[in-house]
Each structure stands twice: as C-alpha cells, then as structure tokens.
Chains A and B, each alone.
Chain A
C-alpha cells in the first residue's frame, strides 16, 4: 500500500516536473542587445522610415492645392469676384472646400447642443428639446420664415434646433466657365440613417434637414481649424487663372476667424499634408545617427578596454 502511494507521489512529481509552464522553464528568447544587434536594428528602422518618407513625399507632391482667403477682402452680405491663379493643371475630380479657422466645433457645449431624433424627422415639442439648449425655439434661433417661405411661430420649437444648426455655414461659391457639383458631398451613412425630414418640413423647418451642405456642417470637425467639402468640379482645370464669385454671408469676425476657399485634387494618400512624410524622414535620419553613434561608441569602448587591459598587464608585471 505504501509503495503504491510512493509510486503515485513519484508520478505526480514527474508530471509536475514535466510541465514546463508550471515549472517556469518555458523556452524563450531573451533579447539582450549587443553593439551589432542594436546597430542592425537601428539601420533596419532607418531604412523603413526613409522609404516611407520618400514614398509619402512623392505621392503628396502630385496633389495640387489652391487656397484663397477671402474674409478679409470681401464685406459680409456682399458678393465679390476674385481671380485665382492655378499654378498647375488640375485633373478632375477637383474638390471644393471651405476652411474656417478658430471655430471650436469641438467644444463640449456646442457639440451637445443637438437633437438626433429631431434630425431624423420626428416632430418634437419644446419640452423634449432640452438637449438643444440654449437654442430651443425659433426666437432663440432668430429666424422668422421657414425655408419654404411660411412665417414661423417664435415660440414654436426650432427645427432643426441647437447651436450646431444655428451656426450653419451659408456662403456660396461659383466659378465662371466651370460648374460645381454640390451633390454627394455628405457621408452616405449620414444621408441614409442619421438625417430625415417630417412631412410638413417646408412649413416648420428654417433649413431643410436633408440639405447636403447642412449634413456636412452637422458632422462636427475635431479641430478648431477645419475644412469641409462644398462641392466637386467634374472637369479638368488647366494651368492659368479662374474667376471665383463668393456670396459672403457668414460672419467670422466676431470670433477672429478666417474663411478660405480651397481647390484640391486627391489621390490614394489623401490631401496635401507633409507632416507624416517629414516625421518619417526625421525618424529615419535619427535612426542612422544612432547607428553611427553606436559604431563610434563601440570603438571608444574597445579602445578603453584595450587600454585597461594594457594597464592591468603592467600591473601584473
């Protein structure tokens, strides 16, 4: 009987000892850097970064972008025409953007001032539009006629309500000889799922909640300086100049903002932005510098060691 128990105990011990996980003797790679391995690492990283940097720059270079700031030379409420210089041929589709600076669309109170069910097309009473605070009624909004032309009751709920809707961007653009396509500028998911209209919309809404410019505006930007799509030009624009007419309705002077009109082509790498490319190039060069420093360091280390050994030998003698 005792022998049995002993055997069992031995078996158990064997089983436990055989379990490399429980005994913490799993095979593993223990990377301790050596001068050669760290140099290789840095060189590999360097090559990766530089390749990315160069590729990114090449792609970004292809994009043609034309910017024109107009808020400072066109009075609010007027219509002005400017001549824009096109430095290079632009291939269609050419994106038309407006850019606003110093507008905090990401402010917490601003962002929260919206009512999604109303935007979906439900008619909501004043009492259930608390989330739109401080813009709940037509009075708060400061509008007196619907987009269909009927007068609005000042105490009736604003439709659409809220700060985001109230600050809707209203400038319009036209370019002589070129037509701007203002359709399909909003995200499909927004058009399909998020925005809708009640039956009598033209009588109670001050702006159509399925208007694409409105939907674009309602998709709030993350940063205080942002661009939004206004339309597309479906024909190529050759090098030269074009005439831009702006209906300047939107006041940005109250918050020291800027308004800019932008024409831009696109490619697979998105818009014109050198930051990632520069980051990549800087990181790549740093990697090469570190590799070099490592090489020099190893050289110094070796010399020191040799010197030390020489001293030791003298000492022994």
Chain B
C-alpha cells in the first residue's frame, strides 16, 4: 500500500502511564518529565537511520530504508532531542544544547520475521539494550507493571483503528559481563560456517530480548498517496480483484482499506481469524472451516466446507476438483479480512488453500493483514498457479519484493522506502495512481496489440506455407519448392514485417482518455474478446482458405497463360505471381483488421509493397538474376506486360478477402462484442458533441442576449 509517511506527532490524551497536562506544549512537557525525555531519547538511539548533512545549508538530513524510523527521529528533533551524527561505533545526540555520545555496540537489524530491532548502546560504563517492534511481538518480552499492559493495549487498539502504525518500545540495562558474553557469542557465530547460522543468531537475539521495561509506544500515520481510493475503485470497476497484503495489524489494515475504497460503504467486512490460545493444532483447521461456513450461511450460499481427516476422503475430493474457479460469481457486498497467523495455517495445506480461495474469490476485496513477505509471495503464487489468474503485484517496500517477483506483472513504486521494490519490478511508477493509466491504457493497448499481432503473424506465415502445401499435391509430393528461394526468405524480414510492426505498435481502438475513463472496456480482455481459441482458429482457417484461393487462382487462372507471342509460362512465373498476390493480400488484410489507420501505417503498408516491387524488379533483371536467382530472370517484366496477370494481382486478393470483410462487418453490426459496443457508443457521443459544437456559437449568442436583458 502507498507509503508516503509523514510524521504526524500527536500525543494522545493518555491517562496512564503518562499524564500529560494539556496546557503545556510537548517541548515544555518533555523538559519537565524524565520519562518523556527517556522516551524520545530512545527514539533517537534505537534505529537504523543514517545522518547526512546538506553540503549547502549544513542542515541535518536523515535517511533510512524505513520512513517510519525517519519520522520517529524527526519527531524527537521537534521536542529538542536531536540526533547529530552517527558513525559505525557512536551516536551523538543533543539534548537541549548538551551533547551526549553513546557507543553503538551491537545492532540487531530489523527483520520482517522477527518484526523488531534492537541496539546495545554504552555510556558511562552502563550497557543498555533497546528494542522496538510490533506490539504482538513485544508484549511477551516486556515485564509489565500491574495493569499497565491493558492500558497500553487499549491505546494501541485505538491508534490502530484510526489507521495508524504502531510500535512498542522497551529497554533494559545489562551488565558488562552479559554484554561481553553476548558480544562473544555473536562474533563466534558470525565467523562460523554453520548452515543455519542465521537461525542461530536469531535464537541468540531472542534469548536476550526478554524482561524488558516498557518505555513507550508510537503511532505513525501512513498517509495515503493522492487518488488511491479513486484508482482502486476504478480497478474494481474494471472487474479486477483487489487484494491487500500488508504487514500492518488488523485494525490498521481495515481502516486503511476503508480509506481507499476497498471496503466501501455498502460493503461488510468478514473477519477470518482464529484464536490460537484456546485451540490445539489439530483443531485449527476445524475452527477455520467453521468461520468459513458462517460466512457461507450468512450470504445464503449452499456450500459447506467439510473437515476431512480421512486421507481417502481427501483424495476423493481432490479428484473431483479440477480447477479452483468453479464459481465466477461475486458477492458485491463482501470483503474478507484474514490475518497472517490464520493464513499461515491455510497456506501449505492444499485442501484449505482450495477452500480459502473458493471463498475469497466470492468477495469483492480481500485484506490480508500481518502477513510476512514470504506469505505475500505464496498468496500471489497460489493465485497465479492454482487459481490460474493473471496476477499483478504492486508495492514499494523491500518486504514486497518476493511478491513482486512472484506475480505475472510486478510493479514497484519509487517512494521513500528505498529502491528494492523498483529494482525487482517489471515496471516502476512513482505514484500509486499511475497504476490506473498503466493498466487501463497501456495494459489494455498492449494486450490488444499483442493478441492481434500473434494472430496476424501466424496468419501470414500459414498462408505462405499452405500455398506450398497445395503445390505439393500437384508435384507428386516430391518436395519441390514452390516459391523461388529468395522470396520467402525476404518475406518476413523485409516485405511484410514493417507494416504490421508500425500498425500494431500504434494500434488502438479508443483514445487513451476514453480508455482510461471506461474501466469496463478493460474487462473485454477478461472475457477473451481479443484472443481466444475461437479467434485464433478463425485467423488460421481464413489463412488456409486464402492460401487455397491464391494457389488455385494462380494455377488455373493462368493455366495455359500465353502472351501475344503465344509463349507458355513456367512454374516460377505462376509462383512469383502467387507470391506477389500474397504480399498484396496480407497487406490488405492488415488494413482491414486494424482499427487505427493513420499516415504512418499507410506509408508503412504502401512502402512495404513498393519495396517488394523494387526488390523484385531488381532481382529479375538479367545479370542480378544470374547472381542470385536465375529462375526469376525476366519474370516480373513479363508479369507487368500481361493484362490478366495484372488484373489478378488485385482481383484475387479481393476475392480472398471477401469472407473476412463479410465476417468482420456482420459480426460488428449484428453481434458486436462489448468493446465494439463501447466504441460505437463513443463514436455516437463524438458525433453528438460535433453536432453540439456546431450549434454552440448560436447558444452563446442567445446566452449573451439573455444576459444583457437581465433576464433568465
């Protein structure tokens, strides 16, 4: 999700453990109270922010892969605790003008599995371990004072329901011996060559991040980028299923989902989440199934998820199920929210994955919260391979990289979270809202163009080959080639490629503005109106038919062709005429098929045919022909001097194209696809607008008349 974090320091009306007096400013309040100073000091000390100085102004700049951390350090600066510099070993902070230097001894970096980070710092002989992280991870590591935890939890919940991102911070003092022991063990592990080194280091961290003292909690607003809600609702209108995969906690995620129209006013979110404390591992599946059944019941769908323990029954069920998407229906008011731990149980169990996707595909949107990067990737993988959907993943952070790599189309947003996502992506954009144009305009154009160009390329090559195949019947299947060698060789490379290259790289059915404004045009692709077996085979059958017309037209049309002198012709004359007709035919076919005729396409088309004629004439000149292709000697001159041949060069392509033209016209007139209808509608409104424009001047004059009269 969009991540344009900006510090929005708010100090909540805390009752406890900190009572803030509303009359004082935060800065003044901070100076008064030690626990507040400690809290902000913590914020300037426990992070991975780098300090830079603007060479021109000398201003301090903070840089970090996590905008949240930058926000925290900036926040502390506002209340007079400034991080001045940071080296590999030390951190210098300034509190109300006094500098304090801390030794940075060890850093446990942030990790999306651990969901926390720690530093060990040293000053005046005392070592401190500072840890900050997600609340559910931190809670068990803090030794709470009485009823402190409930209050903090309540506040964190409040923050989260406002869509804020929360962090819990805690610290403890450690003795020099403990520190040295820890340091020694880390060094030892790091220099070792163990296979599971990382895991062992994690375990080690874990052992020390315990019995911490609560320092405070922060909540940061993750500001949405411009037009996120609009973009998402347009995508949903285009019949694209939008799933949010976020590491945020449930309340935050739901709030953000509401803010960006994923859960719209008339929609209801159903939460799929199970209570882990009260269930044994075996019962987890049953609990999830119960939750799913509740949703089915609520929306009146006669389907029950069964919990099958028996292996045989499972096998049976597996055999029955062919693909995931049996039901194409959508419940427009349903949105499903699922949390990471529950998802963790579902992912990996084929049976439950199936049931989950079956349910999730009914919903208009799905929100998965507290998911790890790995889980993000597995959800995308499931959607891509099991659901057989085309998936697009968009994200801006390093934690989105696995899912961006897994999706069919990975998109990175270049934001404040660094460039990992951008570097892993297929396409990079700088604002989430550009996704709309990327999909509805470029994506749709691209899909249309590629589908047409595939069909066209197959068409023109099958046409050429089938002409040869028909000839094979008449040369005793002896393998004799029909066209003189150089002709097919240059067919694709010179004479027919430029036309379709230019035509299909410029092809578009409606203008980009119209395309952007009509999201349902996008669903034509999902309905397979641009490419399907039927469309593909239509092209292929037509090319076989065209080959038939060209071959037999030439063979029997010129069967005993004689000129005024009475000479009869050879195979090469007939085949070269057929080849010329094919060049004319495929160019004409392209002109019929494309919807976007502009001067570039026309120049490319006419130019390619002219190029063919120039090449052919050069090849057929006696001494060139002797060098390259003796068979072609004089053939094109004779072709140009024979009236029936000249006639057939244009007549045969037209005869061949008659069915194409008829099919195209009749299907567009009497059985228009949804995109055809849309195009017709757009044309109609265009005509209407033209009509309006022509009467507009009159309206204006009328309007000014009325105004001068002071009436109306």
A38 on the B face (CB < 8 A):
yes
A224 on the B face (CB < 8 A):
yes
B693 on the A face (CB < 8 A):
no
- Report how far A301 CA is from B563 CA in the complex, Å: 51
Check B597 against A33 for contact (C-beta < 8 Å): no
Q: Give every chain A residue within 8 A of B566 (Cβ-Cβ).
A: 93, 95, 97, 185, 229, 232, 264, 266
- Report how far A211 CA is from B635 CA in the complex, Å: 23
Q: Give every chain B residue within 8 A of A189 (Cβ-Cβ).
A: 622, 633-634
A106, A187, A301: the one within 8 Å of B567 (CB): A187
- Report how far A271 CA is from B559 CA in the complex, Å: 9
Q: Give every chain B residue within 8 A of A27 (Cβ-Cβ).
A: 598
**8 Å CB contacts to A: which residues of B256-294?**
none
B556 on the A face (CB < 8 A):
yes
* Distance from B430 Cβ to chain A, minimum over Cβ atoms (Å): 14
Check B555 against A222 for contact (C-beta < 8 Å): yes
**8 Å CB contacts to B: which residues of A19-43?**
21, 24-35, 38, 41-42
**8 Å CB contacts to A: which residues of B313-369?**
none
Instruction: Provide the A197-240 mask, 1 if CB < 8 A to any CB of B, else 0.
Output: 00000000000000000000001111111111100100000000
Known: A30-B597, A33-B664, A275-B557. Contact between A109 and B478, CB under 8 A?
A: yes
Q: Give every chain A residue within 8 A of B630 (Cβ-Cβ).
A: 116
Q: Give every chain B residue within 8 A of A270 (Cβ-Cβ).
A: 558, 561-563, 642-644
A21, A42, A228: the one within 8 Å of B568 (CB): A228
* Distance from B464 Cβ to chain A, minimum over Cβ atoms (Å): 17
| Interface residues on chain B, number (Cβ under 8 Å) | 67
Known: A29-B598, A33-B664, A56-B647. Contact between A224 and B474, CB under 8 A?
A: yes
Instruction: Provide the B172-189 mask, 1 if CB < 8 A to any CB of A, else 0.
Output: 000000000000000000
Q: Give every chain A residue within 8 A of B6 (Cβ-Cβ).
A: none
Main secondary structure on B side of the interface with A: helix
Main secondary structure on A side of the interface with B: mixed
Check B480 against A107 for contact (C-beta < 8 Å): yes
Known: A29-B597, A294-B665. Contact between A221 and B654, CB under 8 A?
A: no
Stretch among A9-17, A129-137, A158-166, A276-284 lining the B interface: A276-284
Q: Give every chain A residue within 8 A of B571 (Cβ-Cβ).
A: 106, 220-223
* Distance from A42 Cβ to chain B, minimum over Cβ atoms (Å): 8
Check A49 against B644 for contact (C-beta < 8 Å): no
Check A271 against B561 for contact (C-beta < 8 Å): yes
Check B559 against A223 for contact (C-beta < 8 Å): yes
Check B570 against A221 for contact (C-beta < 8 Å): yes
Q: Give every chain B residue within 8 A of A90 (Cβ-Cβ).
A: none
**8 Å CB contacts to A: which residues of B566-620?**
566-575, 595-601
Check A279 against B553 for contact (C-beta < 8 Å): yes
Q: Give every chain A residue within 8 A of B644 (Cβ-Cβ).
A: 56, 269-270, 273, 276
Q: Give every chain A residue within 8 A of B87 (Cβ-Cβ).
A: none
- Report how far A29 CA is from B654 CA in the complex, Å: 21
Q: Chain B residue with minimal CB distance to A222?
A: B571
Check B597 against A26 for contact (C-beta < 8 Å): no
Check A33 against B668 for contact (C-beta < 8 Å): yes
Known: A106-B475, A301-B670. Contact between A31 and B654, CB under 8 A?
A: no
- Report how far A21 CA is from B511 CA in the complex, Å: 13
Stretch among B227-235, B376-384, B529-537, B655-663 lining the A interface: B655-663
- Report how far A264 CA is from B560 CA in the complex, Å: 11
Check A227 against B480 for contact (C-beta < 8 Å): no
A68 on the B face (CB < 8 A):
no
- Report how far A298 CA is from B665 CA in the complex, Å: 12
Check B557 against A276 for contact (C-beta < 8 Å): yes
Q: Chain A residue with minimal CB distance to B554?
A: A222
Check A108 against B598 for contact (C-beta < 8 Å): no
B506 on the A face (CB < 8 A):
yes
Q: Chain B residue with minimal CB distance to A94?
A: B566
Q: Chain A residue with minimal CB distance to B641?
A: A268
- Report how far A193 CA is from B601 CA in the complex, Å: 42
* Distance from A293 Cβ to chain B, minimum over Cβ atoms (Å): 8
- Report how far A286 CA is from B567 CA in the complex, Å: 35
Check B555 against A28 for contact (C-beta < 8 Å): no
Q: Chain B residue with minimal CB distance to A20?
A: B598
Check B568 against A273 for contact (C-beta < 8 Å): no
Q: Chain B residue with minimal CB distance to A192?
A: B622
A30, A266, A297: the one within 8 Å of B509 (CB): A30
Check A32 against B668 for contact (C-beta < 8 Å): yes
A104 on the B face (CB < 8 A):
yes
* Distance from B558 Cβ to chain A, minimum over Cβ atoms (Å): 8
* Distance from B56 Cβ to chain A, minimum over Cβ atoms (Å): 11
- Report how far A268 CA is from B566 CA in the complex, Å: 11
Instruction: Provide the B679-698 mask, 1 if CB < 8 A to any CB of A, else 0.
Output: 11001000000000000000
Q: Give every chain A residue within 8 A of B475 (Cβ-Cβ).
A: 104, 106-108, 224
- Report how far A106 CA is from B475 CA in the complex, Å: 5
Check B679 against A193 for contact (C-beta < 8 Å): no
A52, A107, A221: the one within 8 Å of B476 (CB): A107
A3 on the B face (CB < 8 A):
no
A173 on the B face (CB < 8 A):
no
Q: Chain A residue with minimal CB distance to B648?
A: A276
- Report how far A294 CA is from B597 CA in the complex, Å: 25
Known: A38-B669, A52-B647, A267-B564. Contact between A273 and B557, CB under 8 A?
A: yes
- Report how far A99 CA is from B622 CA in the complex, Å: 29
Q: Give every chain A residue within 8 A of B556 (Cβ-Cβ).
A: 273, 275
Instruction: Provide the B621-661 mask, 1 if CB < 8 A to any CB of A, else 0.
Output: 01000100010011000000011100110011011001001
Check A107 against B478 for contact (C-beta < 8 Å): yes
B553, B661, B683: the one within 8 Å of A32 (CB): B683
Q: Give every chain B residue within 8 A of A141 (Cβ-Cβ).
A: none
| Residue of A267, A275, A294 ringed by the most chain B CB atoms within 10 A | A275
B479 on the A face (CB < 8 A):
yes
B370 on the A face (CB < 8 A):
no
B512 on the A face (CB < 8 A):
yes
Check A108 against B480 for contact (C-beta < 8 Å): yes
- Report how far A111 CA is from B573 CA in the complex, Å: 15
Q: Give every chain B residue within 8 A of A106 (Cβ-Cβ).
A: 474-476, 478, 480, 571
Q: Chain B residue with minimal CB distance to A104?
A: B476
**8 Å CB contacts to B: which residues of A75-119?**
93, 95, 97, 99, 104, 106-111, 116
* Distance from A63 Cβ to chain B, minimum over Cβ atoms (Å): 10
B508 on the A face (CB < 8 A):
yes
Q: Give every chain B residue within 8 A of A45 (Cβ-Cβ).
A: 654, 658, 661
A169 on the B face (CB < 8 A):
no
Q: Give every chain A residue within 8 A of B474 (Cβ-Cβ).
A: 106, 223-224
* Distance from A225 Cβ to chain B, minimum over Cβ atoms (Å): 8
Q: Chain B residue with minimal CB distance to A30?
A: B595
Instruction: Provide the B511-523 mask, 1 if CB < 8 A to any CB of A, else 0.
Output: 1100000000000
Known: A106-B475, A275-B557. Contact between A24 and B574, CB under 8 A?
A: no
Check A48 against B480 for contact (C-beta < 8 Å): no
A147 on the B face (CB < 8 A):
no
**8 Å CB contacts to B: which residues of A241-295?**
264, 266-271, 273, 275-276, 279-280, 283, 286-287, 290, 294
B567, B598, B642: the one within 8 Å of A26 (CB): B598
- Report how far A77 CA is from B474 CA in the complex, Å: 30
Q: Give every chain A residue within 8 A of B564 (Cβ-Cβ).
A: 266-268
- Report how far A9 CA is from B480 CA in the complex, Å: 63
Q: Give every chain A residue within 8 A of B622 (Cβ-Cβ).
A: 189, 193
Q: Give every chain A residue within 8 A of B651 (Cβ-Cβ).
A: 49, 52, 276, 279-280
Q: Give every chain B residue within 8 A of A184 (Cβ-Cβ).
A: 565
* Distance from B637 Cβ to chain A, minimum over Cβ atoms (Å): 10
Q: Give every chain B residue within 8 A of A301 (Cβ-Cβ).
A: 669-670
Extra 15 A-B pairs, beta carbons < 8 Å, given A270-B558, A273-B556: A29-B597, A30-B679, A108-B475, A189-B634, A224-B474, A228-B568, A229-B568, A267-B564, A268-B564, A269-B644, A270-B643, A279-B553, A279-B557, A294-B665, A297-B669
Q: List 18 A-B contacts (CB under 8 A).
A: A30-B596, A32-B679, A33-B668, A38-B665, A99-B560, A110-B478, A187-B567, A220-B570, A221-B568, A222-B572, A273-B557, A273-B560, A276-B557, A276-B648, A279-B651, A279-B652, A280-B655, A301-B670
